[in-house]
């Protein structure tokens, strides 16, 4: 989340260079109907382009994610091209943004060592990371003890001024960069400020790749915080970096090219901590590209977005993508605020510089010491130095990046800062490497401190710091920033799929920038602690690699199912995981199936598998025509008019059951009834499973048939149906339940989310 905010300020600068006359388009061609006059499709692409523009050139030619190419055109040229024979679609390039140690222990990964097979298959798994690139000198990319690069790997180590082929090794097996879409939008890259190579100038890509599959590094920390051994989720897996994100953002033409190459290179897992807006799948370049990846047996893990706690704020909701939200772990970095009235409040901070005086300092609220009395955010140059000098300033969270606020206070002469949460962030505490003594506080404490500052005649405060604390409870809690359901694009598919650690995560960092990412931050670190669904996504990517190594025969859907159905939604005391934004129990709209549990996922018992054909049937259920399906799947496919396709029958590990209050159904005499079908595949020993259902609402009737499933052999499949009967509820109402199959050893659990609209 921190990086997302930092980058947004950089985008404003970069946008000034935008060229307005032309823009980039991704052209989808009907490859199967290429005119006979052409020898190959590349000639056809070039001829089609030249028919509307004498000067336009092909930027990328896509082989897997699309049948087509990208190019720069004027609006008029794009309109003309749309009318040419064989053109399926002309889609404008879209800018996406980044969704910006202790974790292995918190997840119990040390227990998986005894459960993993000793065949060494994990080292055959390659995790592709589409992000800001990689800092190859990090110890997290040490390849000591790893065998030869897998024979399946077809990728390469691309070079540039700041990157050469020797930067790759048996751990970092490949690195590429994609900048044509970015340069088309913003002009040639200034190599004085950005590396036109796979090198990571930002830190985000190094953080995500080392989280997923970094080697173990002893003595890792950030300024002494979170000290210990830092390691990725799948320490034996290989990493391939695909740089698509630059100072001005991440463009879909570049992302599509990266996915295309990743498929060709031979990755097994694709990690994408980036996102944009929601649109129909046949208009969504990333949804179409990831469909191709799934076809090639690649699991795609993506961040849910940092739009929480707002409802319906999700990104990356295609059902073939594993969508990951964020939770906390049981570690924080305490800081303490003591007011002049003796009251003390707990917050968090990663500040490690010169300590403030132990004596109380004057305390002021930003809105009272700003050029504009409505500015309570400590935005750039907003504070009046004469009113701030020598004081602690209370700055409200939001607007500009959190760490940047500390710089604003410092430049105005302030000695310290209190970062105050509002109701949007609740009690969520995100730690930052502030540039002066500062602490972040939850909403309740922030409100009390602001009340004190406005009522006391001479308000004062002291700031103290407490290092690293373990055993924080309750944990996990759902992060306030983590994007939430419902899934407004496809309401009958529950998203997010699950949550994973995404708050205050320690992982590798770029040597180009300091831990805040601000240009004035000259501190250099090998590890950084940051937060966002960008951080939770690579946790799941790495765990998927772990499962792929243990079960090479499993499909992407089977791996996702294992991760989802073994996730937990309650603490050990039986209480539901909390939402830190509200302080009350969270729901499947917040955490999906629950918090990931890799130990249980290694032996799930049963899985909900799905194939490309299942996803094609899903598109039919959305009433997509053959033209729209061809855009997504790049093949001729016509929905069978004799079949009644239903989204309810997609073999998904969770259930989302929307009811339409406008239908008039739902009364005691005329209830709403809907039936879902699922198929379970046995991936364990022969066993008999019995179903149980728990529901919040007595008005929801849930009937499962049959109630017992007996499996006699490996990979045997059994189907069941669930009938949901509901009485009328006010529009906007939600209710939740769980369905669980158990044989006494395994628990295969699915959340159920009811909604009335």
Share of the chain above pLDDT 90, in %: 85
Looking at residues 699-717, what average pLDDT do you find? 94
| Mean pLDDT in residue range 313-320 | 97
* Max intra-chain CA distance, the chain: 87
Cβ within 8 Å of residue 79, ≥6 positions away: none
Q: How confident is the model at residue 15 (pLDDT cuts 50, 70, 90)?
A: very low
pLDDT tens per residue across span 398-444: 989 999 999 999 999 999 999 999 988 889 899 999 999 999 999 99
CA distance 413 to 263: 53
Chain segment 437-462, per-residue pLDDT in tens: 999 999 999 999 999 999 999 999 99
Whether 413 and 497 have beta carbons less than 8 Å apart is answered as: no
Q: Kindly list the domain boundaries of the chain, sorted by start residue.
A: 23-92, 109-330+477-601, 334-465, 605-610+651-756
Nearest partner of 127 among 543, 607, 499, 597, judged by Cα? 543
Domain with residues 605-610+651-756, CATH architecture: Sandwich (2.60)
Query: For the packed helices 556-565 and 533-550, what is the interaxial angle rounded to 10 degrees?
Result: 110
Domain 334-465 has CATH 3.40.640.10: no
Q: How far apart are CA 673 and CA 662, in angstroms?
A: 15
Element (H, E) at 272: strand 269-272
Over residues 691-708, mean pLDDT: 89
Residue 19 has pLDDT above 60, yes or no: no
Q: What was the pLDDT predicted at 284?
A: 96
Per-residue pLDDT tens digits for 499-539: 999 999 999 999 999 999 998 999 999 999 999 999 999 99
pLDDT at 584 exceeding the cut of 50 = yes
471-496 pLDDT per residue, tens: 999 999 999 999 999 999 999 999 99
pLDDT of residue 637: 93
Q: Using 50, 70 and 90 to split pLDDT, how confident is the model at 1?
A: very low
Q: Is residue 593 annotated as part of the catalytic site, yes or no?
A: no
Q: For residues 383-407, b (16+ Cβ closer than 10 Å) or e, as one string?
A: beeebbeebbbbbbbeebbbbbbbb
Active site residue 534: yes
pLDDT band at 356 (very low <50, low <70, confident <90, very high): confident
Side-chain-side CA neighbours of residue 479 (13 Å): 34
In the predicted model, is pLDDT for residue 138 greater than 90? yes
Note the pLDDT of residue 116: 54
Q: What is the pLDDT of residue 107?
A: 57
Please, where are the H alpha helices in 456-572?
533-550, 556-565
DSSP string of 35-99, one letter each residue: -TT-SSHHHHHHHHHHTT-SS--EEEEESSS-SEEEEEE-HHHHHHHHTSTTEEEEEE--EEEE-
Structure tokens at 513: 């920038």
Contact 366, 375 (CB under 8 A): yes
Question: By percentage, how much of the chain surpasses pLDDT 70?
Answer: 93
Query: Could you give the 3-state DSSP secondary structure of residue 738?
Result: strand
- Determine the Cα–Cα distance for residues 165 and 162; give it in Å rounded to an integer: 11
- Distance set, CA 485 to CA 146, 301, 422, 575, 580 (Å): 41, 17, 22, 21, 16
pLDDT tens column, 35-54: 988 988 999 999 999 999 99
- pLDDT beyond 80 at 101: no
CB proximity list for 707: less than 8 A, separation 6 or greater: 690, 691
For domain 23-92, give the fold.
Alpha-Beta Plaits (3.30.70)
Taking only the tens place, the pLDDT of each residue in 541-566 is 999 999 999 999 999 999 999 999 99
Total-model pTM: 0.93
Q: Flag whether pLDDT at 7 surpasses 60.
A: no
Helices (H), 149-276: 180-186, 204-213, 252-265
pLDDT at 4 over 50: no
Per-residue model confidence (pLDDT) at position 757: 83
Residue among 534, 567, 672, 755 flagged as catalytic? 534
Q: Which of 131, 201, 202, 284 is catalytic?
A: 131
The answer to whether residue 118 scores a pLDDT higher than 70 is: no
User: Any catalytic annotation for residue 524?
Assistant: no
Helix (H) or strand (E) holding 291: helix 285-295
Q: Are 123 and 236 in contact (CB under 8 A)?
A: yes
Three-state SS at 525: coil
Average pLDDT of span 188-205:
96
Res 510: pLDDT: 96
Q: Is the domain covering 109-330+477-601 a CATH 3.40.50.200 domain?
A: yes
Mean pLDDT of 606-611: 98
The residues, ordered by sequence, that sit 6+ positions from 141 with a Cβ below 8 Å of its Cβ are 134, 169, 171, 172, 210, 214, 215, 239, 508
Residue 311: helix, strand or coil by DSSP? coil
11-25: average pLDDT: 57
pLDDT of res. 662: 66
Q: Is the pLDDT confidence value at 61 over 70? A: yes
Specify the pLDDT at position 181.
96
- Peptide bond preceding 486 in cis form (omega within 30 of 0): yes
More confidently predicted of 662 and 692: 692
């Amino acid at each position: 989340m921190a990086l997302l905010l930092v980058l947004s300020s950089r985008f404003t600068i970069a946008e000034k260079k935008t060229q307005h006359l032309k823009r980039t388009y991704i052209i989808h061609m009907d490859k199967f109907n290429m005119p006979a006059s052409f020898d190959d499709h590349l000639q056809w692409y070039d001829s089609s382009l030249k028919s509307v523009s004498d000067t336009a050139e092909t930027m990328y030619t896509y082989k897997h994610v699309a049948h087509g190419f990208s190019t720069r055109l004027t609006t008029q040229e794009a309109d003309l091209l749309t009318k040419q024979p064989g053109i399926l679609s002309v889609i404008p390039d879209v800018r996406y943004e980044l969704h910006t140690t202790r974790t292995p222990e918190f997840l119990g990964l040390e227990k998986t060592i005894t459960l993993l097979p000793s065949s060494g298959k994990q080292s055959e798994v390659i995790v592709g990371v589409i992000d800001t690139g990689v800092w190859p000198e990090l110890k997290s990319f040490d390849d000591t003890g790893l065998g030869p690069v897998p024979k399946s790997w077809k990728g390469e180590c691309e070079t540039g001024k700041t990157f050469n082929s020797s930067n790759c090794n048996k751990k970092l097996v490949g690195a590429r960069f994609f900048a044509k879409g970015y340069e088309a939008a913003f002009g040639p890259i200034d190599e004085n400020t950005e590396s036109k190579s796979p090198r990571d100038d930002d830190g985000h890509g190094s953080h995500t790749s080392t989280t997923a599959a970094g080697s173990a590094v002893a003595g890792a920390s950030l300024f002494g915080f979170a000290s210990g051994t830092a390691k990725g989720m799948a320490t034996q897996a290989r990493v391939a970096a695909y740089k698509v994100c630059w100072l001005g953002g991440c463009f879909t033409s570049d992302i599509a090219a990266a996915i295309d190459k990743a498929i060709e290179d031979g990755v097994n897992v694709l990690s994408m901590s980036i996102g944009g807006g929601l649109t129909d799948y046949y208009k969504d370049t990333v949804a179409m590209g990831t469909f191709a990846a799934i076809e090639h047996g690649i699991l795609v893990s993506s961040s849910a977005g940092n739009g929480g706690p707002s409802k319906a704020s999700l990104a990356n909701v295609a059902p073939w993508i594993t969508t990951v939200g964020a939770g906390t772990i049981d570690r924080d970095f305490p800081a303490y605020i003591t007011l002049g009235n003796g009251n003390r409040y707990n917050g968090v901070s990663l500040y490690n510089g010169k300590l403030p005086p132990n004596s109380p300092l004057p305390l002021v609220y930003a809105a009272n010491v700003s050029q504009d009395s409505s500015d309570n955010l400590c935005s750039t140059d907003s504070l009046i130095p004469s009113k701030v000098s020598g004081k602690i300033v209370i700055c409200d969270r939001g607007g500009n990046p959190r760490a940047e606020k500390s710089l604003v206070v410092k430049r105005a002469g302030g000695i310290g800062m209190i970062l105050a949460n509002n109701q949007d962030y609740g009690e969520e505490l995100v730690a930052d490497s502030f540039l002066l003594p500062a602490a972040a506080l939850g909403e309740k404490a922030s409100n009390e401190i602001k009340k004190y500052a406005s009522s006391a005649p001479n308000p004062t405060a002291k700031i103290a710091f407490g290092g690293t604390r373990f055993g924080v409870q309750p944990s996990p809690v759902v992060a306030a920033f983590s994007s939430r359901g419902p899934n407004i694009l496809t309401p009958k598919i529950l998203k997010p799929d699950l949550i994973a650690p995404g708050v205050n995560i320690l992982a590798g960092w770029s040597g180009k920038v300091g831990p805040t990412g601000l240009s004035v931050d000259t501190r250099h670190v090998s590890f950084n602690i940051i937060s966002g669904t960008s951080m939770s996504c690579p946790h799941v990517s790495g765990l998927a690699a772990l499962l792929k190594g243990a079960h090479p025969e499993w499909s992407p859907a089977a791996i996702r199912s294992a991760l989802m159905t073994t996730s937990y939604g309650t603490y050990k005391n039986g209480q539901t995981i909390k939402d830190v934004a509200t302080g009350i129990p969270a729901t499947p709209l917040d955490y999906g199936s629950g918090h990931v549990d890799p130990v249980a996922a290694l032996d799930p018992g049963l899985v909900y598998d799905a194939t490309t054909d299942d996803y094609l049937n899903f598109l039919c259920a959305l009433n997509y025509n053959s033209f729209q399906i061809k855009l997504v799947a790049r093949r001729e496919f016509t929905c069978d008019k004799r079949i009644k396709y239903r989204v309810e029958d997609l073999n998904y590990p969770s259930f989302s059951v929307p009811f339409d209050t406008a239908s008039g159904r739902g009364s005691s005499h005329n209830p709403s009834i809907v039936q879902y079908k699922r198929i379970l595949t046995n991936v364990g020993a022969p066993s008999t499973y019995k179903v149980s259902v728990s529901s919040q609402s007595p008005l929801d009737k849930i009937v499962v048939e049959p109630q017992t499933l007996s499996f006699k052999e490996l990979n045997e499949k059994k189907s069941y149906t669930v009938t949901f009967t509901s009485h009328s509820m006010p529009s906007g109402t939600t209710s939740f339940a769980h369905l669980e199959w158990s044989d006494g050893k395994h628990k295969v659990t699915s959340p159920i989310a009811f909604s009335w609209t």
